[in-house]
Structure 1
Amino acid sequence: MGKIIGIIREGKKPEDLRTPLTPQHCVEVMNFFPGTRVLVQPSPFRCFSDEQYVAAGVEVKEDLSECDILMGVKEVPADQLLANKTYLFFSHTIKKQSHNRNLLRTILAKNITLIDYETLTWEAGNRIIGFGRFAGIVGTHYAFLMLGKKYGYYTLKPANELANYAELLAQYQGLKMPPVRIVLCGDGRVAHGCIELLRKLRIHQVSQEEFLEDEYNKAIFVHLRSEDYYERKDGKPWDKSDFYKHPEDYRSCFKPYYQKADIMLNSVFWKDGIEEFFTHEEMKDSDFRIKVISDITCDVPGPIPSTVRSTTINNPFYGYNVYLEKEVAPFQPNVIDVQAVGNLPCELPFDASIEFGEQLVRHVLPNLLIEDKDHIIHNATIAKDGKLMEKFLYLADYVN
């Protein structure tokens, strides 16, 4: 007998507009996996309306208690979790995020099977599914938006005021970009989303040597990976695996880049113990050139001292006074402007949902609904039958 999948209404505030499955994807699931039904909980916020699901032949229903599998995007409020179900959503618990401790406790208490999108990985370890591409695109767009506001070069609308990605790109037609120098840090989905927009805007990519040594009369960017801005303290060769296991043995060597860059795009994976790119004191130095920071991955605390808090889509920017070491109004002289929105893909919800749903239907659901032959689902399951799975036993002290 086929499974019943429910698409839940997003309960976390502010409401997320994205959906794991669009109306078309729901139809595909019911066609590709015979016997499977998809129900959708009504929502006034979802980027695809209830009427669009109904028009596609998908049942919209408030009560999802008959469902075997429930899917959302953001964390589900603990009081909305249904016992003994299988849930898929971004739980934000695997880094022991304190604000979600009660969520994981409730999942265990209610015998919920939790499969986190973030833990769905291929055998090599790279993630199968995510919204990172659109985080990179929107975060890069914000950097240019801030630059325009700060110096009056041009005016751009934020992504959330536009219909889709195509409309975002259309804003740049005929726009003359000033000769700014951009440093992009990171090498995952987010970074490649940044690179996608930079290339569409014809921003010239240069090598590390060219970025540090040459002058340009046009906008340029350099792409750095972790081995380019961290080095071993003892001078031994770089080892990426060792870096993440023993970050205390490494130090930042980012200084030459902050002396040359106007804009910083941060899309790195960060964990406790990794040294900051630069210190508060370094930001006060006269040779610290960066004036705009788009902190796309937005870890607080994290690798960038000026990211003192995350921001929201409605109020995405703040200024940072390096001498006072505190937040001030943005777009003032001698202030570094920061964006640190924690849910950037939500600004292009249609495009992001379409791509996410395609990945979900193609790569995840066959393993979930037919056969988990590569153990993709098993390896991504954080909790089951009231217990943490072996791979996630390190979370025991977190929930206890």
Structure 2
Amino acid sequence: MSSRKGARWPDEKAVMAIRRETVNVWERRAPLAPQHVRQLVKKGVKVIVQPSGRRAYSMQEYSNTGAVIQEDISEASLILGVKQVPIDTLLPNKTYAFFSHTIKAQEDNMPLLDAILEKNIRLIDYEMMSDSDGSRVVAFGKYAGMAGMINILHGMGLRLLALGHHTPFMGAQEVFQEFPHEYIDPEDLPVVVKQGATNKLYACVVSRKDHYVRTDGGKFNADEFEEHPERFSSTFSHKIAPYASCIINGIYWAPNSPRLISIPDAKVLLQPTDAPWLPSSPGCLPLPHRLLAICDISADPCGSIEFMKECTTIDSPFCLYDAKQNMYTSSFAGNGVLICSIDNMPAQIPREATDFFGGLLLPYIPEMLRSNAEKPLEEYDADPIVRNAVITSNGQLTPNFRYINEMRQKSK
């Protein structure tokens, strides 16, 4: 199998499990696909797969690889999932790996974190698995972006249709590259808005250096930003957003980082003007502001897009935000900007997403299997990429994540 160079397997026979996803009816992904399980079984690992009729890959496909299909996963020392685990199903003294959504002290998931601590669970959070450069090594990002682009283009078509405009967005579910398009630099936005062609789409990739500036007037420095994001502010809301019809947001946002668009920013951006930017036709409602839609792939409530207060869902993917009233509606008509912020977007492409994610995760499984949650963390001699992603161990938050307690205290 394609394990990491130097990856070490447990000395004794390893048993791991893939749990059934239960966070919602749309979650059909798995952390490993059958092709990945086959490689583990060949290495002598016993892989238990909890039954699920909803999972994108069938139980038979996993069984064909040599996996054991059974409800009881208590034999496993390592339990893998994708999304949060229901508290009443947590097994004590195990090592779990999944996206816990606890690293920002998210209020909804604090009961889960408390239960994990109480049950002496060693939690490895995929979101924290990063290399020496700080880049994440295990993520669904590629398919989150793909699904998000499909969703928001479809949503823009419905939004414009509700206002009386027929557009190419009402076509089949193509992604952006299937449309006539051109990539431009951020500094070209004002010119393109005034003089750009009307028969194609313009895309602008905005990096941190394009809108983050030091509050004291200095230049952007990536290393300093990582250490002290509070020293910077963002010009996104008045240098980028006013020229955008659709914003696709995929940045990681830390609580002390500058926001891209605040609630006051939104009131300015979405203020009606006397010169609608899209020509009106008989039977069409005017579009009083340029910004039509925001797809928040990061799905971070009250984060970089401050007014995105709750995630939308696969069965109800869109809402309309009225900045003047600071409220949401489920209609495609009326005032506001269309919002799509599904927190499990890759679940809409479950097999491909599982293949992609599992391929990234597989090389780290040997190190995860070496974890014994009943022993002190100091004895867990693992690759730093895995060890640094351990949030809880031995009933406590690990040193790198003790700040969560401080954030919880401040929020009370």
Q: Which runs of 5+ in 1 are unaligned?
A: 158-169, 173-196
Identity of aligned residues (%): 32
Aligned residue in 2 for 1:83: 92
Does structure 1 retain, via aligned residues, the 8 Å contact 2:390–2:398? yes
- Give 1:331 deviation, angstroms: 2.5
Task: Provide TM-score, normalisation by structure 1.
Answer: 0.83
Q: CA deviation at 1:289?
A: 2.0
1:208-265, Cα deviation, whole Å (9 max, x unpaired): 2222223322211011112212222221121234335444433321213222211111
Q: Distance in 2 between matches of 1:274 and 1:221?
A: 25
- SS state of the match for residue 243, structure 1? helix
1:4 to 8, 12, 15: 15
The aligned residue for residue 292 of structure 1 is: 293
Q: Note closer, same or farther for the CA distance 1:40–1:305 as it changes in structure 2 (3 Å cut).
A: same
The amino acid across from 1:139 in the alignment is G
User: 1:271 aligns to what?
Assistant: 254
Residue pair 1:102, 1:399 contacting (<8 A) in 2 also: no
Aligned match of 1:153 in 132, 151, 167?
Answer: 167
Q: 1:69 to 1:224 in 2, by over 3 A?
A: same
- Structure 1 residues 209, 395: CA separation in 2 closer, same or farther (over 3 Å shift)? closer
Contact 1:320/1:326 (<8 A) preserved: yes
Moved more, 59-68 or 205-214: 205-214
Aligned pair partner of 1:213 in 185, 191, 197:
191
Distance in 1 (alpha carbons) for counterparts of 2:132 and 2:367: 14
Count residues in correspondence: 361
* Pairwise CA RMSD: 2.3
Aligned partner of 2:149 among 140, 148, 159: 140
Aligned to 1:282: 268
CA distance in structure 2 between the partners assigned to 1:124 and 1:226 by the alignment = 16
Stretch of structure 1 that moved more, 292-301 or 8-17: 8-17
Answer yes or no: is the 8 Å Cα contact 1:148–1:154 preserved in 2.
Answer: yes
Q: Tell me the distance in 2 between the aligned counterparts of 1:333 and 1:391.
A: 46
Which residue identity lines up with residue 167 of structure 2 in the other structure?
Y
Give the Cα separation in 1 of the matches to 2:179 and 2:337: 24
Alignment of 1:104-119 (within 5 A): 104-119=113-128
Residue in 2 that maps onto 1:231: 213
- Write the mapping of 1:1-400 to structure 2, written as runs, cut at 5 A: 1-14=12-25, 16-31=27-42, 33=43, 35-151=44-160, 152-154=166-168, 171-172=173-174, 197-199=175-177, 201=179, 203-214=181-192, 215-217=195-197, 218-254=200-236, 255-278=238-261, 279-286=265-272, 289-332=290-333, 334-361=335-362, 363-369=363-369, 374-397=383-406
Q: Structure 1: which amino acid aligns with 2:336? A: V
Distance 1:156 1:286 in 2: 25
TM-score when scaled to structure 2?
0.81
Distance 1:206 1:144 in 2: 19
Comparing 63-72 and 51-60, the one that deviates more: 51-60
CA shift for structure 1 position 67: 0.9
C-alpha separation in 2, matches of 1:65 and 1:331:
48
Secondary structure class of the residue paired with 1:319: strand
2:78–2:369 contact (8 Å) kept in structure 1: no
In 1, Cα distance between equivalents of 2:402 and 2:333? 48
SS in 2 for 1:6: strand
Counterpart amino acid of 1:17? R
* Contact kept? 1:204, 1:219, Cα under 8 Å: yes
The answer to whether the Cα contact below 8 Å between 1:320 and 1:330 also exists between their aligned partners in 2 is no
Unpaired runs of at least 5, structure 2: 1-11, 161-165, 274-288, 371-379
- In structure 2, give the amino acid aligned to 1:283: L
Change (3 A) 1:332 1:396: closer
More relative contact order, 1 or 2 (CA 8 Å, 6+ apart): 2
Distance 1:386 1:132, change over 3 A: same
The CA distance in 2 between the partners of 1:131 and 1:389, in whole Å, is 25
Residue in 1 that maps onto 2:277: none
Structure 1 contact 280–325 (Cα < 8 Å) conserved: no
Query: Secondary structure of the equivalent of 1:213?
Result: helix
* One-letter amino acid of the counterpart of residue 94, structure 1: I
Contact 1:147 1:292 in 2 (8 A): yes
Given that 2:105 and 2:404 are in contact with CA atoms closer than 8 Å, whether structure 1 keeps it comes out as: yes
Give the letter aligned to residue 296 of structure 1. I
